[in-house]
């Protein structure tokens, strides 16, 4: 791997056995109350989804624009894919990285599913003048206010996405999955412990794991912004981030989880990714990526193998 282009080693010298030994940090005593209170409040909100068809057939999918109401009356925009042919047997909420998304993913092997692709608040189609869409600033939005930090709102966007999908397709109750990559992998880990309407989840190179460790390891991306803020506001930042640690949340996830964690990653440090996977207490599967946020010769082969694993992992959602 090309270490020189980063000025640091994105493997951080960890071997796979060492990564599998990373444990979560200390947690606040009211961690569960903090999140359960937010989740119960989110359940009282009517998402009022609105859809508009923009394509009758694109690669076998009917494509819709969708919007729904999240917490703070925030309007979330995104896409909904429905199969042109066949019966819809399951549904998925599918997140995005910190770059947002400008289109849905058409390559996923779920041709019998309703696929919801929300853009989290402030990002992509859910951009808003009150929130910077640049990850370096988005990650700091309201970080000085534990109850208002932007990541909590993004978690709530997931929960209201589930509510929206079930309002449109109530017959899919018990047959929903979640997929999150990078930013949305961490957001998913924070959302899933409390979200029992999701039956299975996939977290790909998930962020937000073990913040005390992330703040010490050289990195690129949003974590670097947190590190710069930490230099001048240590206590303030740690007070907030300990409630938004995906490794602490992962300890509480009860549904089966499939993780793809990287051995080399300049944007999401591998020890923080594995802290999330290691914290999972119940049924879990690990797909070890050679690298994340970095191209490598075997990348296409690994992506195809990962897609095959996800096809098998989420197959039980079809069962009625």
Report how far residue 258's alpha carbon sits from residue 280's, in angstroms, rounded to the nearest whole number.
Answer: 10
Count of residues in the chain: 320
Question: Containing domain of residue 290, as a range?
Answer: 16-310
> What pLDDT does residue 2 have?
66
> Any residues with CB less than 8 A from the CB of 311 and at least 6 apart, and which?
109, 110
Report how far residue 228's alpha carbon sits from residue 1's, in angstroms, rounded to the nearest whole number.
Answer: 26
Nearest to 317 by CA among 171, 104, 191, 182: 171
Residue 196: phi and psi, rounded to 5, are -80, -5
Is 320 a member of any domain? no
Is 271 a member of any domain? yes
> What pLDDT does residue 5 have?
86
Place of tokens 């991306």: 221
Q: What's the N-to-C CA distance of the chain in angstroms? A: 46
Is 148 a member of any domain? yes
> What pLDDT does residue 320 have?
60
> What pLDDT does residue 226 have?
97
Place of tokens 């057939």: 57
Report how far residue 105's alpha carbon sits from residue 116's, in angstroms, rounded to the nearest whole number.
Answer: 10
Report how far residue 48's alpha carbon sits from residue 160's, in angstroms, rounded to the nearest whole number.
Answer: 10
pTM of the model: 0.97
Nearest to 47 by CA among 74, 29, 8, 26: 74
Task: Look at the chain and report how many structural domains it folds into.
Answer: 1
> What pLDDT does residue 319 have?
81
Is 105 a member of any domain? yes
Report how far residue 263's alpha carbon sits from residue 240's, in angstroms, rounded to the nearest whole number.
Answer: 28
Edge-first strand order for the sheet with 50-58 is 50-58, 61-69, 75-83, 113-118, 90-94, 176-181, 200-204, 257-262, 284-289
Q: How far is CA 54 from CA 66, 69, 82, 115, 291, in A?
A: 10, 21, 12, 15, 36
Is 210 a member of any domain? yes
Long-range interactions of 299-302: CB distance < 8 A, separation 24+: none
Is 228 a member of any domain? yes
Q: How far is CA 219 from CA 59, 101, 267, in A?
A: 38, 23, 6
DSSP letter at 53 equals E
**Residue 136's CATH number:** 3.40.50.1820
Is 238 a member of any domain? yes
Q: Spell out the per-residue pLDDT of the chain, length 320, in tens.
A: 667 789 999 999 999 999 999 999 999 999 999 999 999 999 999 999 999 999 999 999 999 999 999 999 999 999 999 999 999 999 999 999 999 999 999 999 999 999 999 999 999 999 999 999 999 999 999 999 999 999 999 999 999 999 999 999 999 999 999 999 999 999 999 999 999 999 999 999 999 999 999 999 999 999 999 999 999 999 999 999 999 999 999 999 999 999 999 999 999 999 999 999 999 998 999 999 999 999 999 999 999 999 999 999 999 999 86
Is 226 a member of any domain? yes
The H-or-E segment that residue 177 falls in is strand 176-181
């Amino acid at each position: 791997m090309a270490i020189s282009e980063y000025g640091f080693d994105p493997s951080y010298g960890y071997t796979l056995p060492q990564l599998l030994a990373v444990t979560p940090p200390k947690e606040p005593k009211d961690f569960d109350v903090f999140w359960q209170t937010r989740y119960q409040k989110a359940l009282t909100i009517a998402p009022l989804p609105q859809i508009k068809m923009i394509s009758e057939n694109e690669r076998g999918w009917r494509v819709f624009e969708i919007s729904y109401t999240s917490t703070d009356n925030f309007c979330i925009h995104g896409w909904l894919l429905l199969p042109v042919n066949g019966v819809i047997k399951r549904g998925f909420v599918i997140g995005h990285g910190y770059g947002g998304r400008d289109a849905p993913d058409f390559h996923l092997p779920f041709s019998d599913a309703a696929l919801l692709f929300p853009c989290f608040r402030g990002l992509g189609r859910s951009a808003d003048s009150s929130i910077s869409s640049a990850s370096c600033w988005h990650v700091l939005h309201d970080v000085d206010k534990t109850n208002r930090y932007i990541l909590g709102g993004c978690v709530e966007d997931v929960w209201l996405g589930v509510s929206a999908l079930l309002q449109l397709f109530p017959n899919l109750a018990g047959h929903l999955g979640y997929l999150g990559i990078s930013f949305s992998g961490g957001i998913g880990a924070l959302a899933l412990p409390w979200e029992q309407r999701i039956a299975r989840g996939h977290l790909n190179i998930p962020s937000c794991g073990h913040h005390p460790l992330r703040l010490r390891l050289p990195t690129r991306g949003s974590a670097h912004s947190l590190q710069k803020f930490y230099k001048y506001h240590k206590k303030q930042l740690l007070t907030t981030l300990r409630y938004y640690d995906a490794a602490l949340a992962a300890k509480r996830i009860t549904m089966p989880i499939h993780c793809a964690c990287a051995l080399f990653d300049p944007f999401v440090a591998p020890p923080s990714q594995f802290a999330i996977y290691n914290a999972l207490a119940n049924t879990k599967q690990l797909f070890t990526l050679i690298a994340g946020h970095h191209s490598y010769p075997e990348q296409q082969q690994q992506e195809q193998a990962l897609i095959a694993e996800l096809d098998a992992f989420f197959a039980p959602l079809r069962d009625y």
